[in-house]
Structure 1
Amino acid sequence: MTRTGAHTLPAMLAARADLEPDRVAIETFGVGTLTFAQWRGAVDTAAGGLLESGLRRGDRVGLLFTSRDWIEYAIAYCAVQRAGGVCVPCPEQAPAADLRYLLDHCGAVGVLHSAQHPAPEVTSWRRTLADLQGPPDRAGSVRLNAGDLAQILYTSGTTGRPKGVAASHRNLVAGAAARGGRRPLAHSEHFLHAFPIGTNAGQTMLVNALDAKPAALTLPHFTPARFARLAEAYRVGSIFVVPAMAIELINSGALTGRDLSAVRLLGSTAAPLPPSVAATLAGLLPRAVIVNYYTSTEAAPAHTAMIFDPKRPDSVGRPIAEGLMIRGTDGEPLPTGEVGDVWLRNRHSRHYFRDEAASQAVFQDGWVRMGDRGRVDGEGFLYLTDRDPDVIKAGAHKVSTLHVEAALFEHPDVLDAAVLGVPHPVLGTAVATAIVARSPLRASDLRAFLLDRLAPYEVPAHVVFVDQLPRNPAGKVVKRHLSPLFTPEGEQAGAAVRRSVHVER
């Protein structure tokens, strides 16, 4: 493969394959390994097959793979871009109706999928990598530009219809280019993650596989015990999780009694890591730094990073490479300490595909509106108060769900928790919480515990206990699925309704 441009992921693969052809890039435990030379060769062949099949520059191609198929996915992803196409990673567990919406919205011409994951009949063609055996040198005629559209990644849709976030080649490699000559994560031979394909976190791990020194180690399905066993067996130096995984690792006891002395970094992303969870991780992994990364699908690769500091347990850190700003309702920057809308700087900005009105509200002159409320202290550390739609307006007070959740996680019998607002005839909105408990717990005892940590108006007026919280594939709680539990009908249905709240697939 010849270089396709100075600022593309296929060019990164070509350079890495030239330097370290026999080095393992990706290993999926129990499935197989992929070296850089194998990756490049398979990409050339698949890209040639795509071009022979009539793929044109700018055509969108859906990618439908499971977490077992990270090797196939990595090949398909780079092959589509190598052939001049645009990748559209699809959530592996999305219902067929949602997949049809995504593929129709972006105008996908076809779908590449694994043999175990058939594609919906909505595009003109559906193929596996085995169907794409074209001449490898055919892709050499394609010259990519850094500003070309390279990927459309759909948001999780926790508050409405998913939006297609479009990124250029330049945007996708910006994070890697900013690192300089030394390869990141150089303290071990493997880094470990279990992020699903079709998420922003998963996309970051694919770039890491191309750019970082160690091989990317994945597993077909996340379970706390298996994840911890792999970290120990492979002497993993870096672990990447979402808060839901971190909570499972702690609550299951999977990290206890293992030799995890090789772990130097545990990075958490996708949602703020509750301070008590971060503190517990620091105790279980005493040789590791616990880092909370704050970004979004819209803002990537711009982010803030915070090494857990007991003096600043609630902070999500300071911006890396780019800028951070708090704006008021009039769009003007706010002084230090004042709460407003959080904006991150991204010089190589993304945009919403086929949604100009929404793009104008979120992407402005290299700045990205995060959809969160927060403040910055005198040293530049960011503190989130809440997601903008999640702020609870209880009478004259505004309640941060993040603050209440952090207090709930301090209770020794709370395994998992989510806080939301529910209608109230007088206050307008009341604070409610859904709890996964370690052992039987009375709501009155929980409220008594919280009164030492929260203002009276912050203490949940409604408490329900559930078997588990509904989460999307990215690990975020889908709070709209909890709302029915706090209606009169839901309360009358009792335990039967509460037990019906399961993980969203």
Structure 2
Amino acid sequence: MIPNWLLKRAALTPHAPALSFQDRTWSYLELKEEALDRAGKLRSLGIGRGSRIALLGGTSGEMALLIHGCLLAGIEMVMLNSRLTAEEIEYQLKDSQSEWLVCEDAVRRKTLQHVCRSIVYDELVQLNREPLQLEQMWEEDRTLTIMYTSGTTGFPKGVRQTAENHTSSALSAVLNSGLHDGDAWLHMMPLFHISGFSILARAVLYGSEVRLFEKFDAAIAAEEITTGRVSGMSVVAVTLERLLTVIENGKLSVHPKFRTMLAGGGPVPVSYLKRAEQCGLPVLQTYGMTETSSQTATLSAVDALRKPGSAGKPLFFTDIRIDGQTEPFVKGEILIKGPHVTTGYIGKHTSTQVLRNGWLHSGDIGYFDDEGFLFVSDRRSDLIISGGENIYPAEIEAVLAEHPQIVEAGVCAMQSDTWGAVPAAFVVARSAIEEESLRKFCQTRLAAYKVPKAFHFVDELPRNASNKLLRKDLRESLTSRK
């Protein structure tokens, strides 16, 4: 059994700072009361323990209150990416069988669907609050969140994340990085991502503060870090570089309180790590995925400088091995085991087997060095990581295939100085078609970051003897076109 996080934390440290957003700060007692208010208003709609609803909105104080309200009340949350198109959102609402959609007014235009009932934040807060019975303890296998991750079939998969998954992930993280009085985490990540949600979860378990902002702002981040307001922050490579530039140009000094710059979402260039060292920023590279409820391996502070490029060692409750390999420096697929690993998918992928002989097959390629440090050589062979966002080519290919003039399409990663990588499409067309027409077609069906940044018209796509598309050949052809 696991304590209902916020009930327990508010009882232990009621007056400790819990959350700040814009000009408002909540103590843990105040956060509990506001979360109870949201839970009671959801209850007035018939939403209670065991219900499943979808949340759609940006990073805001109201979204954080809704999340905590759902957690208190035992409501399963489907965390929708606010950058998705209406079509993509509709698919996830149908697949998850969400009973309600709760969204912010700014994204109301994306909710023109009849899949489930919906309500915006402003309407919800006007409702009367109904009393509800709260559980003091949770079963370990209770589903808290569902997050969609792109599937190799082109259909996103809804990943179940349980109380045990999130709790063990948070405990593993603190055993690696430590906990100090007055710790506060600078939160500039999307709340619908596992990275963003896990910051909220860790804070409640640790009793630390979350300093929440709507989006990443390098100047504000630099001020928070150099003035000693925060002790940690999560970034991806592209946001780390922007932050480094502000610190370097301003000749700023990192405050001694700041201990952890957690870098995920793909490998960080060694040049960035060297610049961070010069700035006094302790960058800890980490490796994880939606199926592992955030981190599964992280580099500790004491090893950060001597193991650049490493994702560190498996966290305390985690086992990682390289499939079929026992010797150091030999690459293979990364396999993961532990209480933080999802128990399964929902909807269309309910029958998809998550574990094989107890191990999650990540699809990522890596190796251990002779000291047991994990290095991730390649992300999933076809995965495009663009500014921390995961993009699967098959999803884009499926959209392009819907165009009446397209025979087939292949998508691969194209290098980008800004985002690390962006999608590029190779298209076999039935007749002449304008590139801009294809781009607009994709924009109505895909989030902006998934829309190909280049279209190449070809006579045929490279395939092997089994007729499998060879995306590696597509990537190589991009190089030859330069």
Quickly name the TM-score band, shorter chain normalised. 0.7 to 0.9
Which residue of structure 2 aligns with residue 82 of structure 1? 72
Q: 1:162 to 1:34 in 2, by over 3 A?
A: farther
Native 8 Å contact 1:201 1:270 kept in 2: no
Which residue of structure 1 aligns with residue 191 of structure 2? 197
Query: Which residue of the other structure, out of 297, 321, 325, is the alignment partner of 1:304?
Result: 297
Which residue of structure 1 aligns with residue 396 of structure 2? none
Deviation at 1:177, TM superposition (A): 4.2
Distance (whole Å) between structure 2 residues aligned to residue 261 and residue 486 of structure 1: 52
Alignment of 1:200-215 (within 5 A): 200-215=194-209
Which residue of structure 2 aligns with residue 239 of structure 1? 233
Which residue of structure 2 aligns with residue 99 of structure 1? 89
**Aligned-partner residue type, residue 135 of structure 1:** E
Native 8 Å contact 2:222 2:247 kept in 1: no
Deviation at 1:255, TM superposition (A): 6.5
Number of equivalent positions: 400
Query: Which residue of the other structure, out of 58, 62, 71, is the alignment partner of 2:54?
Result: 62
Cα deviation, 1:167-207, whole Å, max 9, x if unaligned, reads 11221212234578999542644221310121011011111
**Aligned-partner residue type, residue 321 of structure 2:** M
Identity among equivalent positions (%) equals: 23
Query: Which residue of the other structure, out of 314, 318, 323, is the alignment partner of 2:319?
Result: 323
Native 8 Å contact 1:294 1:304 kept in 2: yes
Distance (whole Å) between structure 1 residues aligned to residue 337 and residue 293 of structure 2: 10
Distance (whole Å) between structure 2 residues aligned to residue 260 and residue 167 of structure 1: 35
Native 8 Å contact 2:56 2:104 kept in 1: yes
Q: 1:487 to 1:232 in 2, by over 3 A?
A: farther
Deviation at 1:327, TM superposition (A): 0.8
Alignment gaps of 5+ in structure 1:
1-5, 392-400, 406-417, 421-428, 438-475, 489-505
SS at match of 1:108: coil
Distance (whole Å) between structure 2 residues aligned to residue 181 and residue 390 of structure 1: 33
SS at match of 2:292: coil
Q: 1:223 to 1:82 in 2, by over 3 A?
A: closer
Which residue of structure 1 aligns with residue 455 of structure 2? 484
Q: 1:290 to 1:13 in 2, by over 3 A?
A: same
SS at match of 1:209: helix
Q: 1:479 to 1:116 in 2, by over 3 A?
A: closer
Cα deviation, 1:452-499, whole Å, max 9, x if unaligned, reads xxxxxxxxxxxxxxxxxxxxxxxx9968724526979xxxxxxxxxxx
Deviation at 1:325, TM superposition (A): 0.8
Higher RCO, Cα 8 Å, sep 6+: 2
SS at match of 1:167: strand
Which residue of structure 1 aligns with residue 116 of structure 2? 123
Native 8 Å contact 2:365 2:378 kept in 1: yes
- 1:278 is aligned to 2:278: no
SS at match of 2:363: strand
SS at match of 2:125: helix
Alignment of 1:105-144 (within 5 A): 105-118=95-108, 120=111, 121=113, 122-128=115-121, 129-136=124-131, 138-140=132-134, 144=138
**Aligned-partner residue type, residue 284 of structure 2:** V
Deviation at 1:304, TM superposition (A): 0.7
Q: 1:97 to 1:254 in 2, by over 3 A?
A: farther
Which residue of structure 2 aligns with residue 21 of structure 1? 14
Distance (whole Å) between structure 1 residues aligned to residue 201 and residue 6 of structure 2: 10
Which residue of structure 2 aligns with residue 349 of structure 1? 341
TM-score by length of 2: 0.73
Native 8 Å contact 1:349 1:366 kept in 2: no
Q: 1:203 to 1:259 in 2, by over 3 A?
A: same
Query: Which residue of the other structure, out of 246, 260, 265, is the alignment partner of 2:260?
Result: 265
Which residue of structure 2 aligns with residue 374 of structure 1? 366
SS at match of 1:220: coil
SS at match of 1:104: helix
SS at match of 2:291: coil
Cα deviation, 1:7-36, whole Å, max 9, x if unaligned, reads 15xx221121112222221112x3422221
Deviation at 1:58, TM superposition (A): 2.8
**Aligned-partner residue type, residue 21 of structure 1:** P
Distance (whole Å) between structure 1 residues aligned to residue 350 and residue 231 of structure 2: 44
Root-mean-square deviation (Å): 3.5
Native 8 Å contact 1:63 1:87 kept in 2: yes
SS at match of 1:39: helix
Distance (whole Å) between structure 1 residues aligned to residue 12 and residue 292 of structure 2: 31
Which residue of structure 2 aligns with residue 47 of structure 1? 39
Which residue of structure 2 aligns with residue 32 of structure 1? 24
**Aligned-partner residue type, residue 267 of structure 1:** L
Which residue of structure 2 aligns with residue 499 of structure 1? none
Distance (whole Å) between structure 1 residues aligned to residue 176 and residue 8 of structure 2: 14
Q: 1:185 to 1:487 in 2, by over 3 A?
A: farther
